[in-house]
Amino acid sequence: MKTNKILDFRSDTVTLPTDEMRAAMAVAPVGDDVYKEDPTVNRLQQISAEITGMDAALLVPSGTMGNLASLLAHCQRGQEIIVGRKAHIFLYEAAGAAALGGINIQTIPNQPDGTLKLEDIQAAIRPKDEHQPITRLVALENTHNRCNGISLSPEYTRQVADFVHARNLILHIDGARIFNAAIDLNVSVAQLASPADSVTFCLSKGLSAPVGSVICGSEEFIYKAHRIRKQLGGGMRQAGILAAAGIVALENMVERLEEDHRNARLLALGLAEIPSIAINPAEQHTNMVYFSLIEGSPVSLKVFREQLASAGLLVSGGPDRIRMVTHAWVDQSHVEQAIKIITTLAPH
Ligand code: TLP
């Protein structure tokens, strides 16, 4: 089904459901999931809990809702979470935790490898003082999107979990792409997720399901999150139609992420050959490739992006960087075509 004429490297969110997903969706047994009676949703949740090494799981419509419901389940109004300055929760979730939960967000630097330094976490924890917010939770992101898609190791995650728990705080992981991390590091998702109190992962990014994310944690946490999902309007009734695709995603689409990582590597190496492109291939990780134009370039990144789009190559990014993400709907030949287009259009 790889028939796209446009080369779409904007994100792995653009992946379309596979034929096998569509077939599974068509025959999925369903029920009312708000009553917890959808057998396919229940199965997806059970598989998800097992994979992450957690007790329970809950299907939610999106990664954003997964993080938000998790934060709302863990935190009270007036409490504070500590996240990296480049965290998706801080940058791209429309301040949902603040707007809907009265939760203060304190940021600390992300190291280039996506980690948060323990001493920075320590310094950010509030003293017991009625003038200040109450520190409640620390969130990590794995893989780390804005840190070039880098994976956080199980050892680091365990270290942060121990550190956080010793201070009576909670650890949440935004694991939108935790399957990419597991494949990258050749470890299980449970090794990456289970040290935390909760994790969100996405079915509709590299894993190609049409819709859906899952949050996992203790029975008590999921009980609270279920109610919050309802409050947020995320109770989806016969969601087994979506869960069926999610199950195919978990069963068939994980191992192939390796191919996306290989293609991203090829792409980064190809771009490094182009004199006017600024990229350090050592900074390419998993399925993300970030690059820029060298200093003094006659065109802005915005204009360059538009030129690429006119030539049929879609990329994403902000004013300072272009991002290209490899996924199941781009193969090696698409990567080669993309390199050709960029080589032709890059300023000479
Ligand atoms: N990220 C999207 C954009 O929002 C930037 C993308 O194209 O990468 N956590 C992380 C680390 C994410 O990268 C994303 C999506 C989410 C959460 C939110 O997932 P959705 O889009 O399902 O709400």
Å from CA of 146 to ligand 1 middle:
11
Alpha-carbon torsion, ordered 250, 251, 255, 261, to 10 deg: -30
**pTM above the 0.95 mark?**
yes
Q: Domain 19-252 adopts which CATH fold? A: Aspartate Aminotransferase; domain 2 (3.40.640)
Q: Which atom of ligand 1 is nearest to the CA of 12?
A: 7
Q: Which atom of ligand 1 is nearest to the CA of 65?
A: 23
Question: How do the pLDDT tens digits run along the chain, 348 residues long?
Answer: 444 579 999 999 999 999 999 999 999 999 999 999 999 999 999 999 999 999 999 999 999 999 999 999 999 999 999 999 999 999 999 999 999 999 999 999 999 999 999 999 999 999 999 999 999 999 999 999 999 999 999 999 999 999 999 999 999 999 999 999 999 999 999 999 999 999 999 999 999 999 999 999 999 999 999 999 999 999 999 999 999 999 999 999 999 999 999 999 999 999 999 999 999 999 999 999 999 999 999 999 999 999 999 999 999 988 899 999 999 999 999 999 999 999 999 988
Å from CA of 309 to ligand 1 middle:
22
- Structurally, at CATH architecture level, domain 7-14+256-345 sits in Alpha-Beta Complex (3.90)
Distance CA 169, CA 217 (A): 15
CB 299 within 8 A of CB 293: yes
Q: Per-domain residue ranges for the chain?
A: 7-14+256-345, 19-252
Two tokens at 266?
Answer: 């090829």
Å from CA of 281 to ligand 1 middle:
23
Backbone phi, psi, residue 105, to 5°: -110, 120
**Strands of the 288-293 sheet, one edge to the other:** 277-278, 288-293, 322-325, 316-317
